[in-house]
Copies of this chain bind each other. A is one copy, B any other.
Amino acid sequence: MADYQAPLRDMRFVLNEVFDAPSLWASLPKVAEHVDPETADAILEEAGKICSGVLAPLNREGDEQGSRWNDGEVTAPEGFKEAYQTIVEGGWNGLGGNPEFGGMGMPKTLVAQFEEMMQGANMAFGLAPMLTAGACLALDAHGSQELKEKYLPNMYSGVWSGAMDLTEPHAGTDLGIIRTKAEPNDDGSFSVTGTKIFITWGEHDMAENIIHLVLAKLPDAPKGPKGISLFLVPKFMVNEDGSLGERNTLSCGSIEKKMGIKASATCVMNFDGAKGWLVGEENKGLAAMFTMMNYERLGVGIQGIGAAEASLQSAREYAMERIQSRAPSGAQQPDKAADPILVHPDVRRMLLTMKGYVEGGRAFSTYVAQWLDTAKYAEDEERRKHAEGMVALLTPVAKAFLTDRGLETCIAGQQVFGGHGFIREWGQEQLVRDCRITQIYEGTNGIQALDLMGRKVVGSQGKLYELFAQDLAAFIEVNSSDETMRPFLEPLVAAFERLSDVTEFVIKQAGDNPDVVGAASVDYLDLFGLTALGYMWAKIAKAAAPKAAEDASGFYSGKVKTARFYFDRLLPKTVSLAEAIRSGSDSMMALTADEF
């Protein structure tokens, strides 16, 4: 297994050449205050050192050891506590955090690159900073000034970590039916009682305190999702002076044995009248949670890209070193017993498919991050609203499409290794096992597709889709006279028309038939994602083509040729997806339960 190296050159290319992020930052005063291109570059460099040098080396052994539970205490694998300390010392937990409470105020466009390398280096570890950052975000957006002052600085620093407690044994997707209760105490606090499952890093030994954000129901709360509130429940009470007080009445009942991300603890958390404080308004807990979710969901999509990049690096190296059989066109290295397997068209197909999704996916997550930055920091309200619409539309695509393609990429990387891909020491199989969870948690990919197709596209009667369509149409228009762009724009235009037609088709049908949305949703998200990545590859080609001739390293010409592959071999999948969607919902809904 090749050692993971943070893909700094690719990240700089996307940030500076494909998107010109520095101009975006300059246009947002609150961002410009904290970051300029030099600062950003230094952050990337330093983040790369930590991810490649500290986190990646712990990844394999972390998987072998796993987190261990003993009588309510959870011990992270060897080296994790020290690595976490490195993250704390660098302030990395608070990279995108609110400077008012000790965050570094960096834009998501930059933070996304750090997230990708952290997740690519060690996903099980990366979940701890990721969930802490998510908890901070919810707290910063919805908590009282008092709560923020008390908790945020130590969470941004990472001295305390955060956890999100949503799921219960009988309530996963359907949070409306949770049973955890919160009863008001006389002092303004609440007593929280119930059992939560699947709580990532809900208990561990890496941080001094763990701050749980817990969904629970107040007495007499309305039924369903509109009766859910959000509470902050610390593992240890925090005294007025900020020091830690007594242990709160919550405990980790067990941790799960699971397929992957084994180094991370997935906890059953029991709350037994644990003391907590309301975050945001009563019965509006789901809305508060969704503030966090939009960020987290992009973060999960980025996990898919991170794992896929790690798989690609390793598979590429293996394909160049492993010799086996001869090239179809005749021996390439006649002095050796065989040629490197990179000579074989099908090995190239696998690597190029991986590159197509990883590099296109990185551009797409940066594209979405741009809209997140604009939505959060733009001073002009109209500009902010427009960006919020883009974020709402694109977030489910980023989460589901990038993780679906993430798994596909990791499986392809494993396949490049042949039999060795199945053996643990080579590392590829761990990437498959780890990456698999990204399609499931933070809302399954099926739920993302329903969110996209139902709430966003049909729910807005196409208005949100139009925002994306206008952006893409403008790009096509601007580049229509550029001859070098023609081979990319032609198939892109065709896919775009296909997507727009299907969008219109589903919106029309959905009025008469409530099952149409669910029947179309997963294929629609795929069609959307493939087209969006086509847009990204056209942007990449646009940025790389003028430099391809003069660059001896092959970096820019490789980008242009990979774009060509994407349009030739991957984008055509949109044709079949459109055809499948047009068949409607009848063939799914026709069966009785007995007929399954």
Which residues of A are interface residues toward B (Cβ below 8 A)?
Answer: 167, 170-174, 176-177, 197-198, 256-260, 316, 319-320, 323-325, 328-330, 337-338, 342, 344-352, 355, 407, 411, 414-415, 418-419, 421-425, 429, 432-433, 436-437, 439-441, 444-446, 449-450, 514-515, 517-519, 521-522, 553-555, 557-558, 561-562, 564-565, 568-570, 572-577, 579-580, 583, 585-596
Contacts and interface: CB of A to CB of B under 8 A. Distances in A.
A440 B426 CA distance: 15
A312 B522 CA distance: 19
A583 B561 contact: no
B316 A596 contact: yes
B568 A580 contact: yes
B554 A592 contact: yes
Given A348-B588, A419-B440, A557-B595, A572 B568 contact: no
A369 to B, nearest CB: 26
Nearest to A259: B429
A529 B563 CA distance: 28
A346 B424 contact: no
A587 B574 contact: no
A347 to B, nearest CB: 8
Give the number of copies in the complex.
2
A417 to B, nearest CB: 9
Contacts of A415: 439-440, 444-446
B422 A259 contact: yes
A580 B576 contact: no
A428 to B, nearest CB: 9
Contacts of A418: 172-173, 440, 444
A519 B347 CA distance: 9
Given A259-B429, A592-B554, A328 B517 contact: yes
A424 B345 contact: no
Given A257-B423, A424-B259, A518-B345, A588 B573 contact: no
B324 A173 contact: yes
Given A174-B338, A440-B419, A348 B558 contact: no
A590 B557 CA distance: 10
Nearest to A329: B514
7 smallest CB-CB distances across A and B, nearest first, come from A558-B595, A345-B518, A554-B594, A568-B583, A259-B429, A576-B576, A328-B514
A170 B569 CA distance: 32
Contacts of A419: 167, 172, 197-198, 440-441
A330 B553 CA distance: 60
26 contacts: A172-B324, A173-B325, A177-B337, A257-B425, A316-B596, A319-B596, A328-B518, A342-B596, A345-B515, A345-B517, A346-B519, A346-B522, A347-B446, A348-B588, A348-B589, A350-B446, A415-B439, A422-B437, A554-B592, A554-B595, A557-B595, A558-B596, A565-B587, A569-B580, A569-B587, A576-B576
Contacts of A328: 514-515, 517-518
A225 to B, nearest CB: 10
A345 B514 CA distance: 10
A197 B553 CA distance: 38
B580 A424 contact: no
B519 A345 contact: yes
Nearest to A570: B580
A407 B449 CA distance: 22
Given A325-B174, A422-B437, A575-B579, A258 B429 contact: yes
Interface of A, helix, strand, loop or mixed by DSSP: helix
A429 B342 CA distance: 32
B587 A579 contact: no
Nearest to A566: B587
Contacts of A570: 580
A257 B177 contact: no
B344 A518 contact: yes
A188 to B, nearest CB: 32
A518 B429 CA distance: 25
A345 B587 contact: no
Given A174-B325, A432-B436, A320 B593 contact: yes
Given A259-B432, A568-B587, 13 more contacts: A172-B419, A258-B423, A328-B517, A345-B585, A347-B446, A348-B589, A348-B591, A349-B588, A352-B596, A415-B440, A558-B595, A574-B576, A576-B576
Contacts of A441: 419
Contacts of A345: 515, 517-519, 521, 585, 588-589
Contacts of A564: 586-587, 590
Contacts of A424: 256-259
A337 B169 CA distance: 14
A346 B587 contact: no
Nearest to A522: B346
Given A348-B588, A352-B588, A256 B177 contact: no
Contacts of A445: 415
Contacts of A198: 419
A157 B439 CA distance: 46
Nearest to A341: B173
Contacts of A319: 596
A440 B425 contact: no
A18 B157 CA distance: 66
A587 B573 CA distance: 16
B436 A422 contact: yes
Contacts of A325: 173-174, 176
Contact of A346 (B407, B521, B573): B521
A467 to B, nearest CB: 25
